[in-house]
Amino acid sequence: QVATTLFRLALNAGLPIAERQNHSFRVRYYEPAGMDATIYSPAPDFKFINNTPGHLLLIAKVVGDKLVYEFWGTSDARTVKFSETKVWDITPPGPTQYIETEDVPEGKEKCVEHAVSGARAEFTRTVTDEAGKSITSTFRSKYRPWPEVCLVGKKTIPSPLPAAGPLP
């Protein structure tokens, strides 16, 4: 969530994106597809460039259950426009995967991951400066399909009782 929120902030501020990797799988709450970013040490990373005439102050805060980032700085009158996101090459997620476990009661089923189709996505962003010079960037993403995953209660076989007989 941290990387996607910061990516969207930098996009909307019109800052150049130096390094960005989308998630491997589409994440429902990051729609539209293609407007997400992921980080993991040491890579992938997310980087943007401050090409404004001054410093930027980044404020991060939690408001209720939302992460909020704010940039504070001197406006240079740039404007930002986005194209519609194109999504294509949709790949079905495949059959549900069932995993036997003793963590679910016998005969019961608990689905722990939802199915997600794979796809490709693309959008463009155009940043126009005060003099009217525009820079257009294209952001492309490729997502793998992910099947639904369900846990199924494993059938337990009762242990045989020890045979009756004299104690040793």
106-140, pLDDT tens digit by residue?
A: 989 999 999 999 999 999 999 999 999 999 999 99
Contact 79, 58 (CB under 8 A): no
Read off the pLDDT of residues 24-62 as tens digits, 9 standing for 90 and up.
Answer: 999 888 888 999 999 999 989 999 999 999 999 999 999
| 2 pLDDT above the threshold of 90 | no
Give 62's contacts (C-beta < 8 A, 6+ positions apart).
Answer: 68
Report the relative pairing of strands 149-153 and 97-101 from DSSP bridges. Answer: parallel
- Structure confidence by residue, pLDDT tens digits, 100-115: 999 999 989 999 999 9
Written in H, E and C, the secondary structure of the chain is CHHHHHHHHHHHHCCCEEECCCCCCCCHHHCCCCCCCCCCCCCCCCEECCCCCCCCEEEEEEECCEEEEEEECCCCCCEEEECCCEEEEEECCCCCEEEEECCCCCCCEEEEECCECEEEEEEEEEEECCCCCEEEEEEEEEECCECCEEEEECCCCCCCCCCCCCCC
Give the side-chain half-sphere CA count within 13 A for 24: 5
